[in-house]
Amino acid sequence: MLTITVCAALSAAGLAVSFLTAYRRRFVKATRLAAISLLPIGLAMAGLIGLGGKVIQAFSSWAADLVFKPTVWAGFAVLALAVVLYLVAGFAQARSGGGTRREPAEDGGRPAAPPAASPPALRRGGGREAAPAGEDFSDIEAILKKHGI
């Protein structure tokens, strides 16, 4: 209850300053002040201030346990061991050649030839075939030479 009261007072004070700023015809600054002024009461009404208090309390309890309980230190040691084992396994896999073995190809290890090109696509209308891939580009070459490219 006290938290909501304090937040409401903060918001009211901020809104008062924002109205004074608007009275001086600084509307953009007044709008920003009003937006910031509404944050405390909004956080309190949504319950996020109480949640923040619980998070801080939980973190401080964990930090105290970190200092005073050996089981927490043992937990960090186990986590460190897990990371080291994971990294060692990765290095071992990389050193052994990637972990997967491939059988050599029948043609002496050369990659397979790409598939043959498909026949040219048909144009819509007229039923004529599209221009072949090896089309004469002499007119384009002439334009490029004219511009020094």
Backbone angles phi, psi at 30, to 5 degrees: -65, -40
Tokens encoding 5: 């009261």
In whole angstroms, give the CA distance from residue 119 to residue 114.
15
Comparing 2-11, 98-107, 121-130, which segment has the lowest mean pLDDT?
Answer: 121-130
Strand, helix or coil at 122? strand
Strand, helix or coil at 39? helix
**Would you mind telling me the total number of residues written for the chain in this entry?**
149
Comparing 24-28, 52-56, 104-108, 136-140, which segment has the lowest mean pLDDT?
Answer: 104-108
Q: What is the pTM of this model?
A: 0.44
Determine the pLDDT at residue 104: 55
Q: Which residues pair with 129 in a beta bridge?
A: 122
Instruction: Label residue 10 by pLDDT band (50, 70, 90).
Output: very high
